[in-house]
Structure 1
Amino acid sequence: MHIENPSPPPEGCIHCEVRGHVLLIGINRPAKRNGWTPAMFRQLAEAYTRLDDEPGLRVGLLHAFGSHFTAGLDLPVMAEFLRTGQKVIPQGLVEPHDYGLTGYRRRAKPMVAAVKGICFTVGIELMLGADIVVAADDCRFAQMEVQRCIMPTGGATLRMAERAGVGNAMLHLLTGDEFDSAEALRCNFVQKVVPAGRELDEAWRIAERISLQAPQAVVATRLNVLKAIELGQAAAVADFIPVQQRLANSEDAAEGVRSFIEKRPARFTGK
């Protein structure tokens, strides 16, 4: 899959492109190994907000230009924000790490991430905030904040233990060690590992397949999984009947029945 790489400004940018019902969201500062700046964080939140707000968009695909996903924060640029607690993302937008930060929206639509090369700190947290991750087999991962007297605050302390168990989470969080794609797969931080250079193609295949399903059902299913994780089984079960009733009365549900009877792929509109 080829995506034209526009020349970014020195502070980097987030480049968006729509293909079908998929919003491609590209991290674009390859000259600095995609090191994160305030402008990039703001634009990423704007892209995630666009995904949720535009009815024609059904899935996001987060990827990176250049050889690496990201080396993490551009620390000299970001240090003042860390010291003061100043927010780099304006409130009211969808917060890309998606762990329920006060003042920000939660993402409703699914996100697939394609990671490659170096994927440090905020890169891991962004992929853990996505729903499905495809990793190249050449990835180098590290949650190394403890090496800089920083605590990970983008979701790693929440999601590493959830995915891999407390012991595995502590191993990587407290040592700040570097690990490879095989270890990331063992820890359930990523869902697929493919040969380097094929990660974007595989992520696109998954995103496109999701985009062909009934959009309302995709969102409802995703949110129910997250509700079960965050609020418990009873809270998720309580949504089963009312959500199912709402879906069953939609135009897409009627199309689902027609396509079943007519033995053809469904053509969903999101209504």
Structure 2
Amino acid sequence: MSDPILLDTSDGIALVTLNRPDKLNALNYALIDRLMAVLDMIETDAAVRAAILTGAGERAFSAGADIDEFSGSVRQGRDTAIRDFVRRGQAMTARLEAFRKPVIAAVNGLAFGGGCEITEAVHLAIASDRARFAKPEINLGMPPTFGGTQRLPRLAGRKRALELLLTGDPFSPERALEIGLVNRVVPHDALLSAARELAQRIIRHSALAVGGILTAVTRGLNMAIAEGLQVESEQFAALVPADDLAEGINAWIERRTPRYRGC
């Protein structure tokens, strides 16, 4: 069997590809488990400064959960469905959201259900002009379960999110851009190069500072402003004794480009 996740690393960027093109990169349990393992690998790899997540083939980023497999868990009852499906999917999106290195989704086609929830969870997203999004879980008689009822309203606002969640209607990449689900829409053939260019603009900076920003924003979004400001302060405090902060300040004073470790 082919690996459900492909990994290719170059120039500090890990290209992570959901690899079930014959199934529109549907998220079965093996793919989710393998993705979690790959995230563990690249998180501790000092050579990796950022990740791009995309889908194999020309049709889909991910069409969502593997319904055939999921339905088997449902037939076994509530506890099994929650353990095998809901907790696994929520752990995946939470892992992506809290990752200490920037993760950019390169949405190359259908991003339905769980594929849309991955797009919601990652830090940044660029969509092909061929991309198509939807929250179709309502058509199965269920809500989204990988975080879609929580993250989409935070991105798009309550009323706009509820329209998408309650109708299940597909929407265009331009609409995804309008509601804040993606950062840019680009021609299909330029998708990966645009994602790589964005990643390179980030990894020229201090990896410690990038990680601190990601942590402060991700944690702070779910806190009151006073608590979020405390997280921001903690992230800064952790950088004070680090070489990167001294290098950044000295480079600014000396009017030169900073020379961070790993850059």
TM over 0.5: yes
Query: Residues of 1 paired with 2:8 and 2:91: CA distance?
Result: 20
Q: How does 1:230-269 map to 2 (within 5 A)?
A: 230-269=222-261
* Change over 3 Å in CA distance of 1:229–1:241 after alignment to 2: closer
1:192 aligned residue: 184
Is this contact kept in 2: 1:29–1:65, CA < 8 A?
Answer: yes
Corresponding position of 1:164: 156
Alpha-carbon distance between aligned partners in 2 of 1:87 and 1:55, rounded to the nearest angstrom: 32
Is residue 97 of structure 2 the alignment partner of residue 98 of structure 1? Answer: no
Range that drifts further, 54-63 or 202-211: 54-63
165-174 vs 80-89, which moves further: 80-89
Deviation at 1:96, TM superposition (A): 2.8
Structure 2 residue ranges without an equivalent (≥5): none
**2:133 equivalent to 1:141:** yes
Cα distance change, pair 86–238 in 1 and its aligned pair in 2 (3 A): closer
Looking at structure 2, the residues matched to 41 and 180 of structure 1 have their Cα atoms a distance apart, in angstroms, of 26
Contact 1:227-1:235 at 8 Å conserved across structures: no
2:205 counterpart of 1:213: yes
The Cα of 1:121 is off from its aligned counterpart by 0.6
Deviations 1:30-58 (A, max 9, x none): 12211222111111111222232223322
The within-5 A match list for 1:19-58 is 19-58=10-49
- RMSD over aligned CA atoms reads 2.4
State whether residues 133 and 173 of structure 2, in contact with CA within 8 Å, keep that contact through their aligned partners in structure 1. Answer: yes
User: Paired residue for 1:86?
Assistant: 83
Structure 1 pair 96–217 and aligned structure 2 pair: CA distance change class (3 A): same
Q: 1:259 offset after TM fit, Å? A: 2.5
| SS, match of residue 91 in structure 2 | coil
Aligned amino acid, residue 169 of structure 1: A
How many residue pairs end up in the alignment? Answer: 256
TM-score by length of 2: 0.89
Tell me how far 1:134 sits from its aligned partner: 0.1
Question: What is the distance in 2 between the residues matched to 1:96 and 1:31?
Answer: 22
Q: String of CA shifts for 1:113-158, please: whole Å, max 9, x gaps.
A: 1002211111100011101100011211111011112321111101
| Deviations, residues 80-100 of structure 1 (Å, cap 9, x unaligned) | 234522336998xx9330179
CA gap 1:201/1:179 in 2 versus in 1, 3 angstroms: same
Could you state the TM-score of these two structures normalised by the residue count of structure 1?
0.86
1:241, 1:231 → 2: CA distance?
Answer: 14
